Amino acid sequence: MEQTIYSLVNYLVLFWKNAPPVVKISTALLLLFTLVSILTVVIVIFSRVIISYKTRRNNDITERVKTFLSIMIALEEEIFEANTDESILNTITAYLKEEHIKIKDSTTRQILTQELLLIHQELAGNTADNLRKLFFLLRLDKDAIRKLRRKDWLKKAKAIHVLAQMDVIEAVNLLLPYTNDANPHLRMEAQMGYIQLHKDHPFDFLAYVDEDISEWHQLNLFATIAQNKNGIVPAFKTWLNSKNEYVIVFCLKMIGHYTQLDAISDLLRFMQHPDVTIRCAAIFALQKLETEEGVATALTMFDTADTDTKQAILNFFTEIRAESVKPFLKKNLFNDDFNLALTAAKALNNYPDSGRAFLEELLPETDNRMHKIIKHALDNRI
Amino acid sequence: MWAYDILNNLYTNGILYFAILIMSSYVLLGIYSGKEMAVYLKKNSYVNYRSILVSPTSPAISIIAPAYNEANTIVENVRSLLSLHYGNFEIIIVNDGSKDDSLERLIAAYNLVEVDFAVNEQIPTKAVRGIFKSTNPAFGKLVIVDKDNGGKADALNVGINVSQYALITCIDVDCIIEQDALLKMVKPYLEETDTVIATGGVIRVANSCTVEDGRITRVQLPNEWLPRFQVLEYIRAFLLGRMAWSKLNGLLLISGALGLFDKAIVIKSGGYNHHTVGEDMELVVRMRRYMHEHKLDYKVVYIPDPLCWTEAPDTTKILGRQRNRWTRGTAETLWIHRAMFMNPKYGLLGILSVPYWFFFEWLAPIIELFGMLFSILLMFTGNLNWQVFLILLAMVYTFSVMLSSIAILFEELSYRQYTRRGDLFRLFMVALLEPIIHHPRIVYWAIMGNIDLITGKKNWGEMTRTGFATK
């Protein structure tokens, strides 16, 4: 046996010594690739075993937590009402023991927080208040606040989400520094949390935020405002003087959505802003307000405007149906730009009697292109 | 004799160095992809897509699906598209002069009537015969276009001309799109501060998966070997490479099965090219070229989420046609845009992406073939250095197995689609067998594709599908 091993080693040493560089390099790579392949297979199998174990364990904890929360809801009068915090905590601890829930375990606390959040979102009134009380009594708020000090932005963002959902008002000042954080995800979560938690001035951060507010970010802020229980919708014109153009665009959108008519004079100012996005957002806000105030400015600026602004102006005119605009629309039926001509035709068709009649009268006299455009505008099924 | 020596030397050393170059590039891309995927998964681990779904300010999307002789499945496929989770979208089905009764079936199923739709012919196309809308408000999002046959690219161009929104999604009508695909694909447009001109997602193999009401309800590794090989190919291509190219902003291909584009840039670039069979890749390259030539900042973003499920060819004949077409498409695109090759004017695109596709995607099978032919020649002349030959072969084989294993690891750590007992074992078996059984065929089809290209073959090659197993 020893002899065989010795000759094999000898053979390999000789092979390596006499082999050309090509063989040496290839052999080394071959061994490396084989080793990495085996290692990868081991990691895959190992990770599947670990993930399966964790999933089973978490599912088991989740089931027990759900049962515990169901008991809390079913017996809420008995447990929560007319009792001191200490006695409530004693009762809760007894139920936790009964369900074999180890409340000091970090995974269990995390699952309990998640489940509480889910149920709390769906409920209102006394039950929601009692669940919130349970959240505080189990000191789950302190877990979230502790996570705010972690380095990982995701942990911070998730903690902010928990604090905002469970209405931990005293945490509001802790969120403020993150509302202008360099990390866009953390910044967005912090701003959303701030809107939910600050009961008096939830939009303070708009005054000093100098980081980007992407469209995705704006959508999320909008969703938070729309769902906010304290119902504060501020006068968004307050921040129209911001140096941050993202803030201006966001405020213009909100002015339009919440029909804040007292901002019209500001909208007229922004109609001629050098930035096309701001310009179009201002015109779109005027369209949402269905006001005729911007008509004169729009008519003046139309000829020299870029295509996007022209389109925004024509869309605006589609909504307002002002008589003063009709000659302009008739002229633009013959615009070289197909989309602008079609929008003008649609805008004219919006005038219930005169506009539609005009288009119908014009129809026999038009060329093929115009004929198609007018027929399209007149077809209400499209 | 000296020529023979040079050739022999080139053979032994050249193949090794070329292999090392390719392998290094795959490893680097893999590492970069892994890192980027971890970032993506972390970033999107708690995203609430509901805010896009319910927001009145979320962007509207036109979905364009060309259809040719799809009568058996078209009604169901449209129903599936209508149920996509998104607030503001229209679906444009372009009947590309089908010879069957696709249009009649659509008219009957969706109460369609012809409307006076004015088409803005921004891209020249074959004639539009008619445009139909439903009288039923429940199908108000549906637009059916009937046109003369002109091929997939032409049908997509008609769809672009008809579309009314600024973002367009081009899809294969016979694919299964995940319900939240649009929400995920539109997010980069909203999130990035640079202009995003295109987004693509991962395409997965749906063979043997269970389909209910146009949705994948149970993911399963295909029962047959041929689609199984393709599962591994898809995982490797999508998870190991594209994420890295996306981060480098050098992605050249967004699959024709599902892609979201900025319509204005598509139109300015001239729309889909109907002179190539690789119209999906050609469009992305042309859009990128347009942006570079006009000195505009932009991004092409790739999403590693599985968004679309396709039926992979399950016969060698059909797969051969598909791969032949892919080769021709790649070669045609590289030829059309040859001015970009190694051209620093196009930045990373010119000095890295295009050369990568040229050397490692188009040229690699040709070099592989010549290597094999030369080995056979040496074998017959008795000059083959068996030691070098076998070691090189074994090295390339183990690398291929390693790369596939890493791809399986990525899949396991990210989306874990194949969770059945035994799936992992089967996938690793595929990884072991693929270089021996499947890869030589891929090389053969690539070579045939090049021959067809040289001999002037232009057609797509019929792609017969058996259809999804539905419950």
Show the tokens assigned to B458. Answer: 């232009």
Residue in chain A closest to B389 (alpha carbons) equals A23
Best CA proximity match to B281, nearest among B214, B192, B360, B200: B200
A329-338, B12-21, B229-238, B342-351: lowest mean pLDDT where?
Answer: B12-21
The band of B183, judged by pLDDT with boundaries at 50, 70 and 90, is very high
List pLDDT tens digits, range A161-204.
999 999 999 999 999 999 999 999 999 999 999 999 998 888 98
Compare B471 and B100 and report the one with higher pLDDT.
B100
What is the structure's pLDDT at A236?
94
Q: For the residues A214-219, what does the mean pLDDT come to? A: 92
pTM: 0.89
Say if residues B207 and B420 touch (Cβ distance below 8 Å). Answer: no
User: Do the Cβ atoms of B442 and B323 come closer than 8 Å?
Assistant: yes
- For every residue of A12-33, DSSP letters joined together read HHHHHHHS-HHHHHHHHHHHHH
Mean residue pLDDT across chain B: 91
Average pLDDT over residues A132-155: 93
A298: exposed, middle or buried (Cβ count in 10 Å: 0-12, 13-18, 19+) = buried
* B chain contacts of residue A34, beta-carbon cutoff 8 Å: 398, 402
Give mean pLDDT, residues B284-306.
94
pLDDT at A242: 93
Residue located via tokens 């040079």: B6
Q: Do A219 and B58 touch (CB under 8 A)?
A: yes
* Nearest to B87, CA basis, from B213, B182, B189: B182
A161–B398 C-beta distance less than 8 A: no
Helix (H) or strand (E) holding B263, with range, is helix B263-269
Distance, CA of A190 to CA of A172 (rounded, Å): 9
Residue A335: what residue type? N
Mark yes or no for CB contact A215/B191 under 8 Å: yes
The SS3 of residue B169 is strand
Q: Is a pLDDT exceeding 70 seen at residue B460?
A: no
Report the pLDDT value the prediction gives residue B419, as an integer from 0 to 100: 87
CA gap A254, A247 in Å, rounded: 11
For residue B465, pLDDT over 80 is answered with no
User: What does the alpha-carbon distance between residue A55 and residue B299 come to, in Å, rounded to a whole number?
Assistant: 38
**Nearest residue on chain B to A339, alpha-carbon basis:** B120
Kindly tell me if the per-residue pLDDT of B382 is higher than 70.
Answer: yes
CA separation, residue B132 to residues A254, B93, B107, B116, B292 (Å): 37, 10, 8, 9, 39
Cβ neighbours of A360 (radius 10 Å): 12
Range from B145-154, B211-220, B428-437 carrying the lowest mean pLDDT: B211-220
The distance of A315 to chain B (nearest Cα, Å) reads: 14
Q: Give pLDDT, residue B56.
A: 80
Beta bridge partners of B171: B258
* A156 pLDDT higher than 90: yes
Task: Please determine, for residue A367, whether its predicted confidence score (pLDDT) is greater than 90.
Answer: no
ipTM value of the model? 0.87
Q: Looking at the predicted structure, is the pLDDT value of residue B4 above 90?
A: no
Window 115-154 of B, Cβ < 8 Å to A: 115-120, 122, 133, 135
Of A26, A161, A373, the CB nearest to B395: A26
pLDDT above 70 for A361? yes
**With a CB-CB cutoff of 8 Å, which residues 180-199 of chain B face chain A?**
187, 189-193
pLDDT digits (tens, 9 = 90+) for A74-99: 988 888 876 788 888 888 999 999 98
Q: Do B51 and A219 touch (CB under 8 A)?
A: yes
- What confidence score (pLDDT) does residue A358 get? 86
Average pLDDT over residues B295-321: 93
Q: CB distance B412–A216 less than 8 Å?
A: no
Q: With beta carbons under 8 A apart, name residues in chain A contacting B57.
A: 215, 218-219, 222, 253, 257
State which residue of chain A sits closest to B46, comparing Cα positions.
Answer: A158
pLDDT at A1: 75
Beta strands in chain A (DSSP E): none
Q: Note whether A376 contacts B413, CB cutoff 8 Å.
A: no
Of B51, B408, B416, the CB nearest to A220: B51
Q: Which of B13, B54, B191 sits opposite A223 (nearest CB)?
A: B54
Which of A210-219, A243-252, B6-15, B310-319 is the least confident region? Answer: B6-15
pLDDT of residue A125: 85
Which of B170, B436, B190, B185 is CA-nearest to residue B281? B170
Condensed to tens digits (0 to 9), the pLDDT of residues A249-296 reads 999 999 999 999 999 999 999 999 999 999 999 999 999 999 888 899
pLDDT tens for residues A23-57? 889 999 999 999 999 999 999 999 999 999 999 99
Looking at residue B318, what is its pLDDT?
A: 94
**Measured between CA atoms, how close is B399 to chain A, in angstroms?**
6
CB contact under 8 A, B391 and A216: no
Mean residue pLDDT across chain A? 91
> Do residue B117 and residue A222 have CB atoms under 8 angstroms apart?
no
Instruction: Give chain A positions within 8 Å (CB) of B409.
Output: 40, 43-44, 47
Residues 6 or more apart whose CB falls under 8 angstroms from that of A319 comprise: A287, A290, A350
State whether residue B10 sits within 8 Å of chain A by CB.
Answer: no
Write the Ramachandran bin of B387: left for phi over 0, alpha for psi from -120 to 50, otherwise beta.
Answer: alpha
Specify whether the CB–CB gap between B145 and B131 falls below 8 A: yes
H helices of A202-332, in order, are 215-227, 245-257, 264-270, 276-289, 295-302, 307-320, 326-332
Q: Given a cut of 80, is residue A232 above it in pLDDT?
A: no
CA distances (Å), origin A382, targets A373, B118, B139:
12, 10, 12
pLDDT in tens, B250-285: 999 999 899 999 999 999 999 999 999 999 999 999
Of A26, A43, A161, the CB nearest to B16: A26
Chain A to chain B, count of Cβ pairs less than 8 Å apart? 134
Decide if B251 contacts B287 (C-beta within 8 A): no
